[in-house]
Structure 1
Amino acid sequence: MIVALDVYYHQAAAKAVGVTFAAWHSAELTSSHETVLTKLEPYEPGAFYKRELPCLLAVLEQIDLAAADCLVVDGYVVLDDAGRPGLGWHLYQQLQEKIPVFGVAKTRFF
Protein backbone atom coordinates (compact mmCIF):
# COMPACT_ATOMS: atom_id res chain seq x y z
CA MET A 1 0.00 0.00 0.00
CA ILE A 2 1.18 3.51 -0.83
CA VAL A 3 0.17 6.46 1.36
CA ALA A 4 0.20 9.97 -0.12
CA LEU A 5 -0.01 12.93 2.26
CA ASP A 6 -0.54 16.66 1.98
CA VAL A 7 -1.63 19.60 4.10
CA TYR A 8 -3.78 22.58 3.07
CA TYR A 9 -3.66 25.78 5.10
CA HIS A 10 -6.51 28.27 5.35
CA GLN A 11 -6.39 31.15 7.80
CA ALA A 12 -5.62 29.67 11.23
CA ALA A 13 -6.34 26.03 10.37
CA ALA A 14 -4.72 23.17 8.50
CA LYS A 15 -6.43 20.23 6.83
CA ALA A 16 -4.18 17.19 6.59
CA VAL A 17 -5.17 14.53 4.07
CA GLY A 18 -3.88 11.02 3.56
CA VAL A 19 -4.95 8.79 0.69
CA THR A 20 -3.98 5.18 0.16
CA PHE A 21 -3.74 3.14 -3.00
CA ALA A 22 -2.61 -0.40 -3.68
CA ALA A 23 0.13 0.27 -6.25
CA TRP A 24 1.67 3.07 -8.31
CA HIS A 25 -0.49 2.13 -11.30
CA SER A 26 -3.75 1.98 -9.31
CA ALA A 27 -6.59 3.93 -10.90
CA GLU A 28 -8.59 4.26 -7.67
CA LEU A 29 -7.93 5.07 -4.04
CA THR A 30 -8.19 2.40 -1.37
CA SER A 31 -9.08 4.93 1.33
CA SER A 32 -9.09 8.63 2.15
CA HIS A 33 -8.54 10.23 5.55
CA GLU A 34 -8.49 13.81 6.79
CA THR A 35 -8.17 15.83 9.95
CA VAL A 36 -8.25 19.54 10.78
CA LEU A 37 -5.82 21.14 13.19
CA THR A 38 -6.01 24.64 14.63
CA LYS A 39 -2.89 24.70 16.82
CA LEU A 40 -0.16 25.37 14.26
CA GLU A 41 3.47 26.33 14.48
CA PRO A 42 4.44 29.46 12.54
CA TYR A 43 6.05 29.01 9.13
CA GLU A 44 9.84 29.01 9.38
CA PRO A 45 11.86 28.92 6.11
CA GLY A 46 14.15 25.89 6.08
CA ALA A 47 12.23 24.31 8.98
CA PHE A 48 8.88 23.66 7.31
CA TYR A 49 8.67 20.33 9.13
CA LYS A 50 7.95 22.13 12.41
CA ARG A 51 4.65 23.31 10.97
CA GLU A 52 3.74 20.39 8.73
CA LEU A 53 4.94 17.30 10.61
CA PRO A 54 2.33 17.45 13.43
CA CYS A 55 -0.39 17.65 10.77
CA LEU A 56 0.92 14.61 8.90
CA LEU A 57 1.29 12.60 12.09
CA ALA A 58 -2.30 13.45 13.06
CA VAL A 59 -3.76 12.10 9.82
CA LEU A 60 -1.45 9.06 9.90
CA GLU A 61 -3.08 8.04 13.19
CA GLN A 62 -6.14 7.11 11.09
CA ILE A 63 -4.21 4.80 8.75
CA ASP A 64 -2.99 1.25 9.45
CA LEU A 65 0.69 1.74 8.66
CA ALA A 66 1.45 -1.96 9.10
CA ALA A 67 0.36 -2.41 5.48
CA ALA A 68 2.25 0.64 4.14
CA ASP A 69 5.06 0.05 1.65
CA CYS A 70 5.98 3.74 1.48
CA LEU A 71 4.78 7.28 2.12
CA VAL A 72 4.77 10.19 -0.34
CA VAL A 73 4.90 13.74 1.02
CA ASP A 74 4.52 17.12 -0.65
CA GLY A 75 8.00 18.36 0.20
CA TYR A 76 11.62 17.33 0.42
CA VAL A 77 13.24 14.44 2.22
CA VAL A 78 16.67 16.08 1.89
CA LEU A 79 16.85 19.85 1.35
CA ASP A 80 20.22 20.25 -0.34
CA ASP A 81 23.53 18.68 -1.35
CA ALA A 82 24.80 19.19 2.20
CA GLY A 83 22.17 16.68 3.32
CA ARG A 84 20.05 18.97 5.48
CA PRO A 85 16.95 17.03 6.52
CA GLY A 86 13.60 18.08 5.12
CA LEU A 87 10.03 17.22 6.02
CA GLY A 88 10.27 13.67 4.68
CA TRP A 89 13.39 12.93 6.70
CA HIS A 90 11.77 14.13 9.91
CA LEU A 91 8.68 12.02 9.17
CA TYR A 92 10.90 9.00 8.50
CA GLN A 93 12.60 9.53 11.86
CA GLN A 94 9.27 9.91 13.69
CA LEU A 95 8.22 6.54 12.26
CA GLN A 96 11.44 4.92 13.57
CA GLU A 97 12.79 4.53 10.01
CA LYS A 98 10.30 1.71 9.38
CA ILE A 99 8.58 3.06 6.25
CA PRO A 100 10.41 4.66 3.29
CA VAL A 101 9.38 8.25 2.60
CA PHE A 102 9.48 9.84 -0.86
CA GLY A 103 9.36 13.60 -1.27
CA VAL A 104 7.68 15.25 -4.23
CA ALA A 105 8.37 18.98 -4.14
CA LYS A 106 6.86 21.46 -6.59
CA THR A 107 9.61 24.04 -6.34
CA ARG A 108 13.35 23.95 -5.82
CA PHE A 109 14.62 24.69 -2.33
CA PHE A 110 17.14 27.55 -2.17
Structure 2
Amino acid sequence: MQFIHEVLQKQAEKQPDAISLYPENHAPISYGELWQHVGVAAAWLRSQGVQAGHRVMLACENCPEHIALMFACSVVGAWPVSVNARLSAGEIRSIAEHCEPHLIVFT
Protein backbone atom coordinates (compact mmCIF):
# COMPACT_ATOMS: atom_id res chain seq x y z
CA MET A 1 0.00 0.00 0.00
CA GLN A 2 1.24 3.47 -0.83
CA PHE A 3 0.60 6.51 1.33
CA ILE A 4 -0.09 9.92 -0.16
CA HIS A 5 3.06 11.45 1.31
CA GLU A 6 5.14 8.83 -0.52
CA VAL A 7 3.94 10.25 -3.85
CA LEU A 8 5.25 13.68 -2.83
CA GLN A 9 8.48 12.20 -1.46
CA LYS A 10 9.21 10.38 -4.73
CA GLN A 11 8.52 13.51 -6.76
CA ALA A 12 10.75 15.58 -4.44
CA GLU A 13 13.56 13.05 -4.93
CA LYS A 14 13.01 12.85 -8.69
CA GLN A 15 12.53 16.56 -9.47
CA PRO A 16 13.27 18.63 -6.36
CA ASP A 17 13.44 21.92 -8.26
CA ALA A 18 10.19 21.47 -10.20
CA ILE A 19 7.39 23.74 -9.00
CA SER A 20 4.70 22.02 -6.95
CA LEU A 21 2.66 25.02 -5.79
CA TYR A 22 1.91 28.48 -7.12
CA PRO A 23 0.32 30.05 -4.04
CA GLU A 24 -1.25 33.48 -4.20
CA ASN A 25 0.90 36.21 -2.65
CA HIS A 26 3.83 33.80 -2.21
CA ALA A 27 6.77 32.74 -4.32
CA PRO A 28 6.36 29.38 -6.08
CA ILE A 29 7.26 26.36 -3.96
CA SER A 30 9.26 23.47 -5.40
CA TYR A 31 8.66 19.82 -4.59
CA GLY A 32 11.91 19.78 -2.62
CA GLU A 33 10.86 22.80 -0.57
CA LEU A 34 7.40 21.39 0.04
CA TRP A 35 8.89 18.08 1.19
CA GLN A 36 11.13 19.99 3.63
CA HIS A 37 8.09 21.86 5.00
CA VAL A 38 6.29 18.53 5.40
CA GLY A 39 9.22 17.18 7.43
CA VAL A 40 9.16 20.20 9.73
CA ALA A 41 5.39 19.96 10.13
CA ALA A 42 5.56 16.21 10.85
CA ALA A 43 8.20 16.79 13.54
CA TRP A 44 6.01 19.50 15.06
CA LEU A 45 2.94 17.23 15.04
CA ARG A 46 4.95 14.54 16.85
CA SER A 47 6.15 17.13 19.38
CA GLN A 48 2.46 17.85 20.09
CA GLY A 49 1.88 14.18 20.88
CA VAL A 50 0.21 13.26 17.58
CA GLN A 51 0.56 9.56 16.82
CA ALA A 52 -0.68 7.13 14.19
CA GLY A 53 -4.45 6.88 14.22
CA HIS A 54 -5.01 10.28 15.83
CA ARG A 55 -7.21 12.84 14.13
CA VAL A 56 -5.83 16.33 13.56
CA MET A 57 -8.31 19.08 12.76
CA LEU A 58 -6.92 21.59 10.28
CA ALA A 59 -8.89 24.83 10.36
CA CYS A 60 -6.92 26.43 7.59
CA GLU A 61 -7.16 28.97 4.85
CA ASN A 62 -6.12 27.88 1.36
CA CYS A 63 -2.39 28.19 1.94
CA PRO A 64 0.84 26.20 1.55
CA GLU A 65 0.87 25.42 5.27
CA HIS A 66 -2.44 23.58 4.92
CA ILE A 67 -1.03 21.35 2.20
CA ALA A 68 2.16 20.69 4.18
CA LEU A 69 0.11 19.78 7.25
CA MET A 70 -2.07 17.37 5.28
CA PHE A 71 1.01 15.55 3.97
CA ALA A 72 2.60 15.70 7.45
CA CYS A 73 -0.43 13.93 8.90
CA SER A 74 0.18 11.14 6.40
CA VAL A 75 3.85 10.93 7.43
CA VAL A 76 2.84 10.57 11.08
CA GLY A 77 -0.04 8.20 10.28
CA ALA A 78 -2.67 10.62 11.56
CA TRP A 79 -5.96 11.48 9.88
CA PRO A 80 -6.35 15.11 8.75
CA VAL A 81 -9.80 16.59 9.25
CA SER A 82 -9.84 19.75 7.15
CA VAL A 83 -12.47 22.37 7.88
CA ASN A 84 -13.01 25.81 6.45
CA ALA A 85 -11.23 28.34 8.68
CA ARG A 86 -14.04 30.80 7.97
CA LEU A 87 -16.60 28.73 9.83
CA SER A 88 -17.90 30.25 13.04
CA ALA A 89 -16.32 29.25 16.34
CA GLY A 90 -19.49 27.32 17.17
CA GLU A 91 -19.38 25.38 13.90
CA ILE A 92 -15.72 24.47 14.40
CA ARG A 93 -16.44 23.45 18.00
CA SER A 94 -19.33 21.25 16.84
CA ILE A 95 -17.15 19.47 14.28
CA ALA A 96 -14.39 19.06 16.87
CA GLU A 97 -16.83 17.52 19.35
CA HIS A 98 -17.93 15.06 16.69
CA CYS A 99 -14.49 14.02 15.39
CA GLU A 100 -12.61 14.30 18.71
CA PRO A 101 -9.25 15.45 17.30
CA HIS A 102 -6.05 15.06 19.29
CA LEU A 103 -5.00 18.50 18.04
CA ILE A 104 -6.63 21.47 16.32
CA VAL A 105 -4.41 23.62 14.09
CA PHE A 106 -5.43 27.08 12.85
CA THR A 107 -3.62 29.01 10.11
| The two structures share one fold, judged by TM-score above 0.5 | no
Please tell me whether Structure 1 or Structure 2 has the larger radius of gyration of its CA atoms.
Answer: 2
> Normalized per residue, which structure has more helix?
2
Higher relative contact order (CA 8 A, sep 6+): 2
Length-normalised TM-score, structure 1? 0.29
